[in-house]
Structure 1
Amino acid sequence: MMAFNLHSVWAIYKFEVARFGRTVLTSLITPVITTSLYFIVFGSAIGSRMTEIGGIPYGAFIVPGLMMLTMFTESIFNASFGIYMPKWSGTIYELLSAPVSAFETVVAYVGAAATKSIVIASIIFATAHLFVDVQVAHPLAMMAFMLLMAVTFCLFGFILGIWAQSFEQLQVVPMLVVMPMTFLGGAFYSIDMLPAAWRTVTLFNPVVYLISGFRWTFFGKGDVAIEISLAAVFAFLLICLAVVGWMFRTGYRLKN
């Protein structure tokens, strides 16, 4: 059994993180500005008319949803772009022929993308404190959920990066699927506010369970039970792991 090649994993991880470092100013300023705009728009326009949701101040209520929205998009973009560029440039063949296993490759790329996503989500959390007082009921659970979500969606992004054959395909799923599902998944409202028929339809949106679980770590309550949210996250994680394993085993869009 081949030992875990920590040196190779660290080399790939460091290279990917360095790419983030070259645009660190933009990468850090963008979430601060975006978060501020969300609070100005949602906090002023909506918060003035809807001060609380379930006993939680509206400004604080949208913080978990805003963090999840950013983590979804950043995780998918960073991981998909990271593996797509070697495919696009042709250097993927050097990686595949190197003494680096599929598991080590995934750990390095997904680990780097997850690191960037968590850093940006943490910046959003810190920026939110400039506008509202946000108390976290379960801080350890919140950090664990952030890590779990970052890894899961980075794996999903990794799959998209292998599947995509153009920069247009690289962006179509995050923009046309993930983003709308996030906005319709209770990121900025509670699904209990919806009419019964629409609430039933919304429960078929898997993002509902992810946002609800993360919101539970903040306030001790969510739209669905925390056990169901965790089950949904782990189910999605296992599906992504299975798909990545199949891609490397068959060489799908990697070796041709």
Structure 2
Amino acid sequence: MNLYAILAIYKFEMARTWRTLMQSIASPVLSTTLYFVVFGTAIGSRMGEIDGVSYGAFIIPGLVMLSLLSESISNASFGIFFPKFSGTIYEVLSAPVSPFEIVAGYVGAAASKSMLLGLLILATARIFVDYQIEHPVWMICFLALTAVTFSLFGFIIGIWADDFQKLQVIPLMVITPLTFLGGAFYSINMLPEPWQSITLFNPVVYLISGFRWAFYGVADVHIAVSFGMTLFFLTLCLTGIWWIFRTGYRIKS
């Protein structure tokens, strides 16, 4: 394994984050902070508890996931799209670097940025809402697994997109609505049938439910199911990337 190549790609992508600090870190944290102010403090103080958890604390895992999913996809998709758009991707492909090392560099950097953002949002939430983390190891595990999985998904989007507009289609038109409808601001057990059953087809439900369980020990679906669904989506993304490099889809032509 060419660790030097992985580290070179990783450092290059991370350096871009520090050059665009306001856009990459400050803007998402500020946007999520507004959610905490409006929903957690203003509205949350007038609402009752959900599954024994105050509303302000209940929405924290969902808000973290909302930012984590969108930023993971955005960072990874732009990271691979721009070299493809500028033509510098051929320098990487012609170098003695394997597809695994290319993916590890780009996805590793995107996941690292997303995890850093998620931890910053959690630290910011402490200012507005009091919360606890009952299972910190599982919380970090779900945070890292989700960041890696959706960074892989973002990598696929970056390969698929042939213009800058397509980079925003999936995050804005698919991921954000699924997150809002996936229990970020409510428990799906509050929904009447058949909507409760229909919601279980939303993959984001399992991510938010598992992440919320790590905080408060309560979940809409069993923790084993949430973890299994996350691993299943990770496997799908890895399979998709393997197929891309196997066929050269939109990366060698």
TM-score class normalised by the smaller sequence: over 0.9
User: Are positions 1:68 and 2:65 aligned together?
Assistant: yes
**Structure 2: which amino acid aligns with 1:10?**
L
Q: Is the 8 A contact 1:65 1:211 kept in 2?
A: yes
Q: Is the 8 A contact 2:29 2:121 kept in 1?
A: yes
How far apart, CA to CA, are the structure 2 residues paired with 1:230 and 1:81? 28
TM-score normalised by L of structure 2: 0.97
1:6-17 to structure 2, matched below 5 A, reads 6-17=3-14
| 2:147 aligned residue | 150
Match of 2:123 among 107, 123, 126: 126
For structure 1, the 5+ residue unaligned runs are: none
Q: 1:85-116 deviations in whole A, cap 9, x for unaligned?
A: 01100111111110000000000000000000
> Any idea what SS the aligned residue of 1:56 has?
coil
| 1:203 aligned residue | 200
Measured after TM superposition, the shift of residue 43 of structure 1 is: 2.3
| 1:115 aligned residue | 112
Deviates more, 1:44-53 or 1:157-166: 44-53
1:36-115 to structure 2, matched below 5 A, reads 36-115=33-112
Q: Percent same amino acid among aligned pairs?
A: 61
How far apart, CA to CA, are the structure 2 residues paired with 1:47 and 1:198? 24
Deviates more, 1:17-26 or 1:245-254: 17-26
Q: CA RMSD in A?
A: 1.0
**Structure 1: which amino acid aligns with 2:205?**
V
User: Are positions 1:213 and 2:210 aligned together?
Assistant: yes
| 2:19 aligned residue | 22
How far apart, CA to CA, are the structure 1 residues paired with 2:170 and 2:26? 25
For structure 2, the 5+ residue unaligned runs are: none
Q: Is the 8 A contact 1:31 1:123 kept in 2?
A: no
User: Are positions 1:166 and 2:163 aligned together?
Assistant: yes
> Any idea what SS the aligned residue of 1:239 has?
helix
> Any idea what SS the aligned residue of 2:127 has?
coil
**Structure 2: which amino acid aligns with 1:210?**
L
Measured after TM superposition, the shift of residue 50 of structure 1 is: 1.9
Measured after TM superposition, the shift of residue 9 of structure 1 is: 0.6
> Any idea what SS the aligned residue of 1:133 has?
coil
Match of 1:184 among 139, 156, 181: 181
TM-score normalised by L of structure 1: 0.96
Q: How many residues align?
A: 253
Match of 2:133 among 136, 156, 169: 136
How far apart, CA to CA, are the structure 2 residues paired with 1:8 and 1:202? 42
